[in-house]
Structure 1
Amino acid sequence: MSTVIEQAVEARVVAAALIPTVSATLHYDQDDPFAVRMDFPAPATLEGADVSWAFGRDLLFAGLDDPTGEGDVRVRPYGYARTVLEFHAPEGMAVVHVRTGELRRFLKHTTALVPLGREYLHVDMDQGLAELMREA
């Protein structure tokens, strides 16, 4: 049985012109215990379609206190109360500010479900290996 945690957050997308606050959703599924997903509704995207970004839960934890990330997703603190998430894609970059307290509350719920360092206990290695072999 999969247990999923979702939390709505207030996100401010920073662009050339300030875009109003949008509702985004943080998503954590114990069946994919290393990942967090952040979903943005269509009105908040350039394409006018829902967009979802997946990245490591450990990246989000680390980025609350220190700048981290070298790839498509980067996270860094912004003052005391905000955290910046940068999403890099071939089409461009999105910079999103989220209240740090909301992120900490979400991460607290995820660690209650799957403690840090215990993610491997929730990964079905046999199923993952079978899927890889099927694709080969």
Structure 2
Amino acid sequence: MSTVIEQPVEARLVAAAPRMQRIPATLQYDRRDPFAVRMTFPAPATLEGVDVCWTFSRDLLLAGLEEAQGDGDVRVRPYGYDRTVLEFHAPEGTAVVHIRSGEVRRFLRSTSELVPLGLEHLQLDMDRDLAELMRDAC
């Protein structure tokens, strides 16, 4: 069984222009990092011209489907019946994207099949992680 789930999504970038630009993005979940999800934007869709990946809590994404969540670099909130808004705050500025809530729900269902909510801690290998920390400290 694969340890990684990747799902392409269509994001709509909110900008000053009247129409929202469509950009491809990928949602990713790795059972080796069971509390986190990643959203990656390809180089052509970013100001820097390089792939940009944001890592944030799976719980944040799930809770943000129902009501506004987050007060840090990543914020998530529902928008209407079928959209979810993700805000990414960086020193260079803020990117606001809309994605279909159905795509987010499908992604989260897949992650829950791989690692059920509330059981993430069972995926952690504390002995290995501690050994890595100690090795890096020397």
| Fold equivalence (TM over 0.5) | yes
The reply to whether residue 128 of structure 1 matches residue 109 of structure 2 is: no
Number of the residue aligned with 2:99: 98
Which runs of no fewer than 5 residues in structure 2 stay unpaired? none
Number of the residue aligned with 1:13: 13
Distance 1:131 1:70 in 2: 31
Number of the residue aligned with 2:69: 68
- Matched residues, number: 136
* C-alpha deviation, 1:2, in angstroms: 5.7
* C-alpha deviation, 1:134, in angstroms: 2.6
Distance 1:2 1:81 in 2: 29
Deviation track 1:86-125 (CA, whole Å, cap 9, x = no partner) reads: 0011111100100000000000000001000000000111
Local SS of the residue matching 1:21: strand
* C-alpha deviation, 1:42, in angstroms: 0.9
Which is worse superposed, 122-131 or 72-81?
A: 122-131
- The question of whether the paired residues in 2 share the 8 Å contact of 1:68 and 1:76 is answered with yes
Deviation track 1:37-89 (CA, whole Å, cap 9, x = no partner) reads: 00101111111111000000000000000100011100000011000000011
The reply to whether residue 3 of structure 1 matches residue 3 of structure 2 is: yes
Distance 2:110 2:89 in 1: 27
Distance 2:67 2:136 in 1: 38
Percent identity between matched residues is 72
Distance 2:71 2:135 in 1: 31
The structure-2 alpha-carbon separation of the partners of 1:105 and 1:2, relative to structure 1 and needing over 3 Å to count, comes to closer
* C-alpha deviation, 1:129, in angstroms: 1.3
| Superposition misfits of 4+ residues, deviation over 6 angstroms | none
- The question of whether the paired residues in 2 share the 8 Å contact of 1:63 and 1:77 is answered with yes
Which runs of no fewer than 5 residues in structure 1 stay unpaired? none
Number of the residue aligned with 2:83: 82
Distance 1:51 1:19 in 2: 19
Distance 2:132 2:94 in 1: 32
TM-score by length of 1: 0.95
Distance 1:102 1:2 in 2: 20
